Structure 1
Amino acid sequence: MDLNQVSYHYPQQPILLNHISARVPVGHILSIIGPNGAGKSTLLKLMTGIIQPSAGQVQLDGKPISSIPQKQLATKVALVSQQNDIFDDMKVIDVVKTGRLAHHNLLATIADDEVAQYIQATHLDALAQRPMSSLSGGQRQRVWLASALAQDPNYLLLDEPTTYLDIHYQAELMAILSRLNQQKHITVIMVLHDINQAFKISDVLWLVKQGQLVKVAPPAECYDRQLLASIFETNIQIVDVPNYGKYIVEIPEVRAES
């Protein structure tokens, strides 16, 4: 997947993304990080074809993503859905089956066996017959992941997948994504709010600020106090934590009392 001079703005609004050019590294984990309002989620939507660039092109396999029929695109690119209450009365296994519709007609009957591998990959075996309404936030997130995997995509996109999850479920989700990437060679593209998570799990980082792609590099090349302070507009310290490694700490400015 390639982004060629991609810009985007909403009608009668300032430019949100400005002339972004980059190549997504196939078979790796890419995380997009930056401050709120930098354009990260918009960038992800452009890469799924949900919205189209105001200028430039997003290309997949050498073709403009806008030229690829929606059903065909769904077999190549999957976006992990956010919470959606309309599925609350459905069983877990039936929600996962909706991902297979990319490979069937809308009225097809999908066998349980066809989604068994996606249920197993996301540790949902014991929950498969339960209604979505009975699940915790972390469990529901795994169902959305399983449904996206059922599309059998080459690219798996996630928008802040750990938001609102307890630390245990965050670690579990990151471990599942890492394993899927290593075993199935799925290209994972994520917007992550937690920069330490992004640095630990990713092969490549895209650092975005004010609609500009400021840096594309492996995490090891991004442990730079001045760079990160400039991106996030806050004081940054990078500390070494035993049995963990480098850890990025954002230090808010302390205002002097008047």
Structure 2
Amino acid sequence: MKLLRLGAQGREAPVVRTDDGRFLDASPITTDFDGAFLASGGLDRLRGALATGALAEIDADGLRVGAPVARPGKVVCIGLNYLDHAAETGAAVPFRPVVFMKDPGTVVGPYDDVLIPRGSTRTDWEVELAVVIGRRARYLTGPEEAADVIAGYAISHDVSEREFQLDFSSQWDLGKSCETFNPLGPWLVTADEVADPQGLGLHLSVNGVKRQQGHTKDMIFPVARIVAYLSRYMVLEPGDVINTGTPAGVALGLADTPFLRPGDTVELSVDGLGGQRQTFAQA
């Protein structure tokens, strides 16, 4: 299934996109796609309603696309998870996952404007595969158990301000948690429809110029290992989002490439998960 939320910010409605491109109203099953929906077996109820034809078709033309999951409890991020990205930034290859947190309030829709913070000179792009947790997870024993708690996958744009991130603090949070810094979507593709999360291409262009072209097979720490690892140190709750890292091609690693400026447009996609497009504006 492809789950998305349509409507004005704060008033999004839950919708299912079918394989033939129709949009079905999921409101008879749930008021929203959130942690409570996932924790209560909502995906199974939704599959049942689809099988019986119980969901009515809607006209989605002109409706804003919100993030596919209502505000997550937390956004957990993995840094330096691609060898080529670590190399381009001059960082050592990590022995274990580099973990940091991102303010959940950064999550916006995949086509919403992204605001460049006041005082920023080094706002950067990062296309990533996002994992959405479907069941409470703590102390998972390994990748097999981890796979069972994943609800699905989406595209995440882990926008970063490099001066705030690297120069202002020993922590990365200042450069990661600025408003609008995590477009998500356009939809959540359920785990049963993603045969191999390590088999997906990632793509990003800025103003029509290709900047990132990577593949999840090149992750240092694969998806299931990341989920199992995190569950040893924090409880993962339904609706939580994990950003799994970005491949090479960010402005930080490109010597003659300018950072983002107001009016710039970024387009990104992940194979099988759709695409995003944002225009950057001054906060």
TM-score, length basis structure 1 = 0.25
Q: Which protein is richer in strand relative to its size?
A: 2
Higher-Rg structure is 1
TM-score, length basis structure 2 = 0.24
